[in-house]
Amino acid sequence: MNKELLLANLRTIPDFPIPGILFYDVTTLFKSAECLQELLDTLYEQYRDRGITKVVGIESRGFILGAALAARLGVGFVMARKPGKLPAETIEETYAKEYGTDCIQIHKDAIDENDVVLIHDDLLATGGTMAASYRLVQKCTPKKTFINFIIELDGLNGRNAFPEGVEIDTLLKL
């Protein structure tokens, strides 16, 4: 993987969405054909021999590479969304945020016990959304679950939000 290429094209925005936060904007990686191909090629090589049958993308930036990777792997794609966005019967997981709670949902029939699942999102910070997504997927009792991010903010200890033994991979640690 060409980390230098990705880092050179990753935009940082200070004080967004609130003062004191340095926001890592992956949209600049997606708008570059070279970076997008680099990300997709790297993820494909990493997961092509792992028996994945479904990729779960977390709303909304996780949809971009998640869907592209699912197509490249020749497997199904599942959207993990905020409440009220999915039309059929759903299951959900609620999780704590800094101020209050939030919820993530998938269709009830999206994953079953025969699936090997890769859950993908753009960024691991504190891990709250992905940990809830992981718990949600586990309700469907898949054979195995992998987790992947483009970026991990190393100093925020997001991996601590997951049970021991969960396989978490990131492309860039910042």
Indicate the SS3 state at residue 135.
Answer: helix
92 is catalytic: no
Q: For the stretch 103-123, what's the b/e string if a residue is b when 16 or more beta carbons lie within 10 angstroms of its beta carbon?
A: ebbbbeebbeeebbbbbbbbb
98 is catalytic: yes
Tokens standing for residue 26: 């992956």
Question: What is the distance of C-alpha 116 from the center of its chain?
Answer: 15
Residue 104 sits at the vertex; the CA angle it makes with 116 and 140, to the nearest 5 degrees, is 35
Choosing from 4, 89, 98, 113, which is the catalytic residue? Answer: 98
Which residue is catalytic, options 61, 81, 93, 152? 61
Structural tokens at position 90: 């759903």
Instruction: Report, as residue numbers or ranges, the catalytic residues.
Output: 61, 98
